[in-house]
Structure 1
């Protein structure tokens, strides 16, 4: 099977906090803790015990392996439910170059 991703996925032990962003720019104070299954410069895959709607946006705080926190806005683009656990795919739609670089640096170390 051909790899369609532009960026390599990483298996990573991180914690994520999601905060829902609504159309009017109002944030819904709904914090969700999720288990990240993979992350790349372009997006993140994670599991959660709560249903999230497709094409909704979340402000995320991702604590990475160095204990630094990456702030990013994600859009939920894929959802699959298995035995009460939801598996999500999301793309980063707002992230600073500095934060994207942190993920790139992790990739380099991970490949060594």
Structure 2
């Protein structure tokens, strides 16, 4: 199968929390935190695992901390979902990621390749 990724993915270990999941018509999760475990990141998006089912095509807000004071908030759209035995693997794309924030990810990639 041909790899269709537009950006190089880097291992990224973090625990994030989703506090709202929504689309343009409705909010389906409010005031309830859903822990997720990030596994990789690129300028295009982030991959994570979770134990709760989240719908495709929905959005959530995330705070991404890349270390060394590089953190940002972004909206992510759930575009891929694969159910495994012990967790669900998701793929999300950044929506409206500012150029300066993609530079943070470039710096993160440089730091990761040097260590």
Normalised to the residue count of structure 2, the TM-score between the two structures is: 0.83
> Structure 1 residues 34, 50: CA separation in 2 closer, same or farther (over 3 Å shift)?
same
Equivalent-residue separation in structure 2 for 1:29 and 1:22 (angstroms): 16
Gaps of 5+ in 1: none
Equivalent-residue separation in structure 1 for 2:51 and 2:69 (angstroms): 24
What value does the CA root-mean-square deviation take over the aligned residues? Answer: 2.1
Question: Could you tell me whether the CA contact under 8 Å between 1:76 and 1:90 is conserved in 2?
Answer: yes
Q: CA deviation at 1:42?
A: 0.4
Q: CA deviation at 1:67?
A: 5.2
Gaps of 5+ in 2: none
What does residue 88 of structure 2 align with?
Answer: 86
Out of 38-47 and 22-31, give the one that drifted further: 22-31
SS where residue 12 of structure 1 aligns?
A: strand
Equivalent-residue separation in structure 1 for 2:6 and 2:52 (angstroms): 29
2:74 aligned with 1:72: yes
Across the two proteins, how many residue pairs are aligned to each other? 112
